[in-house]
Amino acid sequence: MPSVPDETSHAEADATSFVLVEPSHAGNVGAAARAIRVMGFGRLVLVRPRHAGLALDDEALARASGATDVLRAARCVDTLAEALAGATLACATAMTPRDFGPPTLAPRAALPDAAAAGHRVAFVFGPERTGLANDDVYRCHLCLSIPTHPGYGSLNLAQAVQLIAYDWRQALGGFGVQPRTPAVRWADAAAVQGMLAHWQETLVRIGFLDPAAPKKLVPRLNQLANRARLTEEEVHILRGIARAAADAAQGAKGSNASNASGAAKDTGSQSGHEG
């Protein structure tokens, strides 16, 4: 599920725009909406989309995966200048090297300073097939280049939006990770020692440990337990295993004794018959 931004992030979200220049695939627009919504942003601007209503196309709505509020609020404009209105820092995203234009930096190198300065930022993404035109890049203060493998730098539009949105959210402070499991209850030293004593008794009963020559088995088990940092539940499980092992060993001894007694009776019966 998307993270829900807290109240303090609303101003940051309203001050950030994600601008898609000449997008042609409705699915990419929907996926881009999902990408920015999950990072707590909501302003999407389309510059000369391939056809009117692209943001509300069925595929866009499906790929938005619930972020339909972003699509319904998306603005459509005719020029990049209109899309950048109100922005104090325009960041082009481009992979192709140019011999002229704004400085090029990785997002994590550039965005912390932009966040600290309190800029109203617009992130500008080019068409899926060609990327941003030079004139669009020249309108921007900065060019962001996502570090990729030198031999293959092709990113889907929505993937690029997601990466930039994530790095920008981190630069603004990020969201806390919500715990998904209950807090662990660690076993205390007394519980661990009780479990080890139980195991020592069981190991003697099953013949694994010679009490006359214990060597360093128990201290080694103690070190193993310390490294494992056992929880209370794990201590209960291990004591249950020790109990079951001891019961199984006792049952095996009883069965062997019964078999031996039966064999003796059979032998006595045969002797009497022969006599």
CATH number at residue 240: 1.10.8
My answer on whether 134 and 209 are in the same domain is: no
Q: Which tokens sit at 175? A: 């969201």
Question: For 154-201, what is each residue's pLDDT tens digit?
Answer: 889 999 999 999 999 999 998 888 888 888 899 999 999 999 999 999
Structural domains in the chain (count)? 2
Say whether both 18 and 117 belong to one domain: yes
Residues 125, 226: one domain?
no
Looking at the fold, whether 161 and 136 belong to one and the same domain comes out as yes
In a domain, 236, yes or no: yes
Q: What is the pLDDT of residues 97-117, one digit of tens each?
A: 666 778 899 999 999 999 999
pTM: 0.73
Do 78 and 131 share a structural domain?
A: yes
Identify whether 275 is part of a domain: no
221's CB contacts (< 8 A; 6+ apart) are 196, 199
- Count Cβ neighbours within 10 Å for each residue of 78-113 and write b for 16 or more, e otherwise: eebeebbeebebbbbbbbeeeeebbebeebeebbee
pLDDT, one tens digit per residue, over 47-78 is 999 888 899 999 999 999 999 999 999 999 99
Whether 158 is in a domain gets the answer yes
One domain for residues 49 and 153: yes
Residue 181 per-residue DSSP state: S
Domain annotation covers residue 183: no
- Whether 167 and 194 map to the same domain: the answer is no
The whole domain housing 202 covers: 189-268
In 64-156, at which residue ranges do the beta strands (DSSP E only) sit? 75-77, 89-93, 104-105, 121-125, 142-144
Measured CA to CA, the distance from residue 57 to residue 34 in angstroms comes to: 15
